[in-house]
Amino acid sequence: DDLVHSGRVFTPADDLVGKKLRVTAYHRDCRSLPQAESDLSRPVRPSPSKGTFRDRRLPKPLAATAANRIRVASFNVLAQRYVRTPLATKVMYRNVKACREVLEWEYRCPLLMRELMDVKADIFAFQEAEPRFVETVREVMPQYTVRFVEKNGNKGEGCAIAFNHDRFEMLDETVLDLASDGVKSQLTSEQVAELQRKWGDVDMFSDVFDNLGTAGQVSVLRDRQDTDKVFVVGNTHLFFHRNATHVRLLQAHLLAMAVKHELDRFQGANVFIC
């Protein structure tokens, strides 16, 4: 067999399309330990066609940022559990009926990793992030610290903030419940009563917020080179329904309260909300 690559991340060239690969894994610091080999079950597939939206938007990898610049990127990853819903198959992705494999995780994951590595953000914010996505980011991009917050209620996905730990150190972190517990703990009883009055016959807890698993996170990061620079990063994925603007407003208010709390502690900090 010919060796085509050695390293943690591999992007097959076009001449490998249709061929099967064998992967050998070993401990890089202790080669005397046993190795593990695995023949990949599927042959190499072609990359997406040239001229796609991705190639037009990002024709080549971005350069790393200078010390006086910062790049923040936010991605809704699309959790696999939502790919096969009726809304997804009949509306959102109805144009891929002839090539459903492009929605499979095995196809999407390498493309997502390539995108992240090409963007080279100093700080990433992810929504609909599943545990396996988070673990893949940690493996493929070890220079990032990834803080993951899973939604309540066995949703199997959540939010994550990833930052380049060579540039930043984390000073503080807050995990937010943007469902019933969060509303009850962050608002006064008078505020809750006033909200319930405005909601009329709908019980805001048993009818709505008890059924939500929305979570959020706030991370406080300090620049290692310029320690006077502090960044407060808020991240969440607000509940979506076309008739639930009032729910999203309340969730956004809770996130803003958490961000303001950190700004009161770290005067002059910069804010990013994703």
Render 8-63 in DSSP notation, one character per residue: S-----GGGTT---EEEE--TT-TTSPPEEEE-SSPPPPPPPTT-HHHHH-SSPPP
DSSP secondary structure letter of residue 214: -
Same domain, 14 and 144: no
Looking at residue 12, its pLDDT comes to: 86
Does residue 265 lie within any of the structural domains?
A: yes
Does residue 237 lie within any of the structural domains?
A: yes
Does residue 11 lie within any of the structural domains?
A: yes
pTM of this prediction?
0.87
Tens of pLDDT, residue by residue, the chain (274 residues):
789 998 878 888 889 999 999 999 888 788 788 889 999 888 988 877 666 777 777 888 899 999 999 999 999 999 999 988 888 888 888 887 767 778 889 889 988 998 999 999 999 999 999 999 999 999 999 999 999 999 988 789 999 999 999 999 999 999 999 999 999 999 999 999 999 999 889 899 999 999 999 999 999 999 999 999 999 999 999 998 888 899 999 999 999 999 999 999 999 999 999 9
Same domain, 127 and 89: yes
Looking at residue 30, its pLDDT comes to: 83
Same domain, 56 and 171: yes
Does residue 196 lie within any of the structural domains?
A: no
Does residue 3 lie within any of the structural domains?
A: yes
Looking at residue 223, its pLDDT comes to: 98
- Here the CATH number for the domain that contains residue 246 is 3.60.10.10
Does residue 194 lie within any of the structural domains?
A: no
The total of structural domains in the chain comes to 2
Same domain, 22 and 132: no
Looking at residue 258, its pLDDT comes to: 97
Same domain, 15 and 103: no
C-alpha distance from residue 94 to each of 79, 83, 112 (Å):
17, 11, 21
Does residue 255 lie within any of the structural domains?
A: yes
Range of the domain at 221: 48-178+213-273
Same domain, 163 and 34: no
Same domain, 105 and 54: yes
Same domain, 110 and 144: yes
Same domain, 31 and 63: no
Looking at residue 49, its pLDDT comes to: 66
Same domain, 128 and 2: no
C-alpha distance from residue 31 to each of 24, 137, 197 (Å):
12, 25, 68
Same domain, 26 and 135: no
